[in-house]
Amino acid sequence: MKFEQIIERIIAINHAWKLARDDFGKGSPITISLREQKSSWQANLLRLYPEASFLALATDSNMHDEALYSVRLIKPVKTSIGLKSDAEHIPKRLAESLFTNQELNKYFNKEV
């Protein structure tokens, strides 16, 4: 799958996750499934395109109920919702379960 297609998929799943969270609550099975699916696609993006993406601490984590990382893009990408310089947030705990410590260090230590 192409880089831009993965980003579009992450955006779509993120929107669906937010709708499910609002309609069914953050603990509902569909909400949890969508959040985990989004995180899995974000992991795929970082692994398949490490030259075009990286992780950064989310600067707005204090507005959420858990610590978040931001999946950042080296160059902004035109998407169906406009120009994006990130591929949404990923909960820190999910990132730590999806990546090894070596991968986390690799994705955080980017020269941008």
| 90 contacts 58 by C-beta, under 8 angstroms | no
Q: How many domains does the chain have?
A: 1
Rg (CA), the chain: 13
**pLDDT one-digit tens code per residue, 2-28:** 999 999 999 999 999 999 999 999 999
| Mean pLDDT, the chain, whole residue set | 92
Other C-beta atoms lying within 10 Å of the C-beta of residue 96: 14
Say yes or no to pLDDT of 111 above 60: no
Question: In the chain, what's the furthest Cα-to-Cα distance?
Answer: 41
- Domain span at 80: 3-109
Q: Among all chains, which residue has been given the structure tokens 């959040």?
A: 35
Provide the pLDDT for residue 61: 60
CA–CA dist 52, 76 (Å, integer): 10
Closest CA to 60 of 70, 71, 50, 48: 70
DSSP code of 65?
S
Prediction pTM value: 0.91
- The residues, ordered by sequence, that sit 6+ positions from 39 with a Cβ below 8 Å of its Cβ are 90, 91, 94, 95, 98
